[in-house]
Structure formats: structure tokens, C-alpha cells
Amino acid sequence: MAELAVIDNFNLQTISGDLAQAIAEEMNGLGTLPFDRVKIPSGGGIAFELPGEDENNPETTTEIAGIILDHHPVNAYWQNKFAGNNESPDCSSYDGKEGIDRVTGDIRECVNCPYNQFGSDGKGKACKNTHRLFILREGNPIPLILSLPPTSIKYMRDYIAKRIVLKKLRCWQVLTRITLKKEKSATGIVYSHAVFTFAGKLNPEQIKKAETMKDCVTKQYRQIDAENTDYDIGDSFNNEPVPQQPATDGFMNIPDGDVPQFDS
């Protein structure tokens, strides 16, 4: 196997030292730092839309480059259609296996849930399925959340299996570039799917820092609420059956400890 290129010039930043102290002081009484969210655009768009300095003028980019700190399936069901208020889902699952009813606390098996079957919402599912990625970009210590629709999940699966695992690596040990490709379904619906490219392996110091961030995200932030906007990406995956991959990740307990807090 050819020797992998090592990325030495990636500016990997974490919350520590003076920055951690500044956040603790300035955010006192204001809550926690927010994660920025990005999604696959509808209509075959090939540019991601990112929150900008002005919330009314988002930024666009054709590529997201960063470290995939963590990823996991997210299922969410809203009894009422999205009305623009970004309500929390009535039932949500953060492992793709078991969903929790927000009101009653009852646990439902996703595989048998009637809302998670094709045809429960017209042609598609009433329960919306995505795969959530936490991506640490260069020069930014706050991970970005990217929500993948089912039409993109198989491409991520192939990338991780062939480009990461077979190189005896983990996602958080490498730099990944994500772009978009325009496609058309058998029924004529134009949509976009994510394209993943291996950009190189991090150096040992970067890997150590990234592992610390990975542990923090995996243990603390997998159960951030899903938002309606994460699922409002057109009919390309809501209304057409797409083979789903079984999830293997379970719930993570949130440990005690002085760890920098983020919010959705």
C-alpha cells in the first residue's frame, strides 16, 4: 500500500486556554455556544449554504473540507407539518434503532414503527431519516453539523469503507473534502448527493487533538434536537424509497465533567 500523504498545514483549533476562559466569561448567563448547520440543497444545487455573519445573507460554498469527528443516524417525526417555528420533533431517534416519544417518554422500535414505513406520508415516510455529521473545519473550533439524506448515505458508506477503514484509519484521523453532484431519479426528480474525497492523513499532534474533540462530541452532543430545517430539502428523499443501512451505534451516556458546552 502506498504511503499516505500527511497533512501538516491544517489549522486545527480546539477550545482551550484563553479561548475557553473567554467563552466561559462572555457566555455566562447566555446559554451555550451554537452549532452551525448545513444541509444538502434541494433541486440539484451544487453549493452548500452556510450561516454567515448576517443571518439574512448566508454564505455559499461548493466544498466543505474538514475532519469528520463523529457521525450517526437521526430519525425524527413531527405530527404536524413544518409551520416555520422549528419545533422539536414529537418522536426522535439518535441511533436509528429506538425512538423516544417527546410527550410520553415511550420507546418505539424504528424498524416496526408505522411512521417509519414508506407510504406513511403519501409515497414517502412520515418519519424523516438522515445521517448527521459533525465536521471540524480549519480555523474553527466549533464543529459544523451536516445532515445527509438517504440519497447520500451510500456514498459516505463507500468512502468510509474503502478510503478510511481499509487504510486502517478512522474518520477523525483524516482530512475529508465534501462536494455535491447533481443527479436525476428514475421519476425525473433532480437532486444532489454528497461526494466524499480523501485529502490526506493528519499528523500525530493533530490526531491527538482531534481525538479529544471526537470524544467530547460523541459522548456529549449526539442527542442535539433535530430541526425541521434539517429535513426540508425537497422530495428527492422524502417520497422515493431508498435502501436504508442498519445502524450500529447505540445511545451515549452524557458523563459529568467540565467540558465546553455547545448547543443546536
pLDDT of 244: 41
Read off the C-alpha cell for 144. Answer: 459544523
178 has which bridge partners?
64, 196
H-helix or E-strand spanning residue 101: strand 98-101
Q: Does residue 235 surpass a pLDDT of 70?
A: no
Residue-range domain boundaries for the chain? 37-76+129-241
Banded model confidence at residue 158, pLDDT cuts 50, 70, 90: very high
How far is it, in rounded angstroms, from Cα 193 to Cα 182?
A: 7
Q: What angle do CA 215, 37, 182 make, to 5 degrees?
A: 110
41 contacts 47 by C-beta, under 8 angstroms: yes
Q: Does residue 37 surpass a pLDDT of 60?
A: yes
How far is it, in rounded angstroms, from Cα 137 to Cα 156?
A: 18
pLDDT of 113: 93
Give the predicted TM-score (pTM) of the model. 0.81
Long-range contacts of 74-77 (CB under 8 A, 24+ apart): 74/129, 74/130, 74/131, 74/132, 74/147, 74/226, 74/230, 75/99, 75/110, 75/116, 75/127, 75/128, 75/129, 76/127, 76/128, 76/130, 76/226, 76/230, 76/231, 77/115, 77/116, 77/126, 77/127, 77/128
Read off the C-alpha cell for 235. Answer: 422530495
How far is it, in rounded angstroms, from Cα 87 to Cα 80?
A: 10
Banded model confidence at residue 176, pLDDT cuts 50, 70, 90: very high
